[in-house]
A and B are shown apart, each in its own frame.
Chain A
């Protein structure tokens, strides 16, 4: 025939785009790089502190010779837990008490004793192919805050003070709060607080802060290691009945990647991490908009991990 029909053009164009794209992302590691000890996928929850912790663990492991894939801001525990159990991720920075109550389906076993809590956590993890390592001294637990105005209005210092007036107040937190034992159910069962309404916002993020600002909520879930609470005029109410327990930072990983070498590296990081460190690093990321990986790197260098 005479002219090439247009349909061949179309197919050729699509095919070449696909081939180019495939070639572009088919890049392999350079042959000169030292052999990696293996690939580990590190995930973080959908708040900045978790990105920092994931970077701390990841970079320490990277320095130890592992290839790291990061999946930061991946989601809540409801997303991460299935992902680690199915092997899509290998490691995430957990919090001892909250993780325990997640994997034991809210059985109420967590206490203020971090060693006991971590041991109980491991007893639940061992049967699903996971393991928790040494908890660090750094703690970040759920905290419930009110604005200074609300505190003054009702004369609040502790969570127990909320019980008589709960039905005039709106609680705001991430959408998973009504199903988490340390969140709304906990406030109800331990403190007898029944809120007027619950507003699903985010897990200690900008939506919650905006809701405080425009009065949509009076009580909100924040994290005890947040760096911006004072600046925002928020006051944390004291957990006088100890609803929140030992939420020490603890690495949770798949047993398959938990070699002695990996365990040593991660436990080393945990050994020196303190709550003050968390708050400082949170401030750098949340307030100064520095990168989690840069902040983590600076911390590791400061503590001579890369020596």
Chain B
């Protein structure tokens, strides 16, 4: 189809690889927005989820926070952020962070809860104190599910960062929105492909990190149920 050949031509045009609207610039914008949101989100979500899971408190809240989080329309939250904070990266990152936090809270909570109580008892019996038990026994066991949560968040954020272009944000969403406005469909198509590739790359690289972090013995014990790791689509 013509659109495919046109899109290919768009990618092979050297002009599209340089300058403030070039692929490298947009890529770094997109990565920056996504990475900052996920990192800030993790700094909030992981301690919260891990603490709740370790002490077994507020279970319903921790599990339902992910339901509520998923219910937030990303378009709405981005526009609200713009109207509160104006233009720039701040509103975008705040909105994306809000979307990134819930899956990580829920997953870390569940991850800690799923640690076998017998193992907890054994650790107690062996003389582990609270923090040591958490860090040396429970967390390593919880890593797979926690990483799955981070991975879900990250892929979701990368996809949703596309919408940032609607409030004058950068990143690959710019190609989609500008291409639409200029009726330059190869550009829109290119933007779609770039976002898809970036999401895929995020998924694969974080899966790799997950595999590297999980102690081999545990890796063989558990495999997360496929339907639990299905990435939720917000954009």
Residue positions of A touching B, CB distance < 8 A: 76, 78, 174-176, 178-179, 197, 199-202, 206-207, 210-211, 213-214, 216
Contacts and interface: CB of A to CB of B under 8 A. Distances in A.
B22 interface: no
Interface stretch (B33-41, B51-59, B64-72, B173-181): B173-181
Given A78-B183, A175-B177, A213 B86 contact: yes
Given A78-B182, A211-B168, A200 B174 contact: yes
A200 B167 contact: no
A238 B174 CA distance: 31
B87 A214 contact: yes
- The range of chain B's interface size is 10 to 19
Contacts of B182: 78, 175-176, 178-179
Interface of B: 20, 82-83, 86-88, 167-168, 174, 177-178, 180-184
29 contacts: A76-B181, A78-B180, A78-B181, A78-B183, A175-B177, A175-B178, A175-B180, A175-B181, A175-B182, A176-B181, A176-B182, A179-B182, A179-B183, A197-B20, A199-B168, A200-B168, A200-B178, A200-B181, A201-B168, A202-B168, A207-B82, A207-B168, A210-B82, A210-B86, A210-B87, A210-B168, A211-B168, A213-B86, A214-B86
A86 B184 CA distance: 19
A207 B87 contact: yes
B167 A207 contact: yes
Contacts of A210: 82, 86-87, 168
Contacts of B184: 179
Contacts of A200: 168, 174, 177-178, 181
A14 to B, nearest CB: 19
A79 to B, nearest CB: 8
